[in-house]
């Protein structure tokens, strides 16, 4: 999967093996960069990789 891929909250939760609610909390706390498209959040896979670089 390329790093410029755009994921939904559900796909992000599956990738990180956590819940959709946890992903939404991470977005709200600005721990995970995301963009709102209409009523839905979208997360760049590159943002997830950046999250791990900062928190590991």
| Least-confidence region, from 1-10, 17-26, 35-44 | 1-10
Q: How far apart are CA 53 and CA 20, in angstroms?
A: 21
Q: Is the pLDDT of residue 41 over 80?
A: yes
Q: From start to end of 1-56, where are the E strands?
A: 6-8, 35-37, 40-44
pLDDT tens profile 11-23: 999 999 999 999 9
In this prediction, residue 32 has a pLDDT band, given cuts at 50, 70 and 90, of: very high
| CATH code at 6-55 | 1.10.10
Q: How far apart are CA 1 and CA 28, in angstroms?
A: 26
Average pLDDT, the chain: 91
Q: Where are the domains of the chain?
A: 6-55
In this prediction, residue 54 has a pLDDT band, given cuts at 50, 70 and 90, of: confident
Q: How far apart are CA 20 and CA 11, in angstroms?
A: 9
């Amino acid at each position: 999967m390329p790093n410029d891929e755009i994921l939904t909250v559900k796909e992000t939760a599956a990738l990180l093996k956590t819940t959709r609610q946890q992903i939404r909390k991470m977005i709200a706390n600005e721990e995970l960069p995301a963009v709102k498209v209409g009523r839905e959040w979208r997360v760049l896979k590159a943002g997830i990789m950046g999250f791990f670089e900062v928190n590991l």
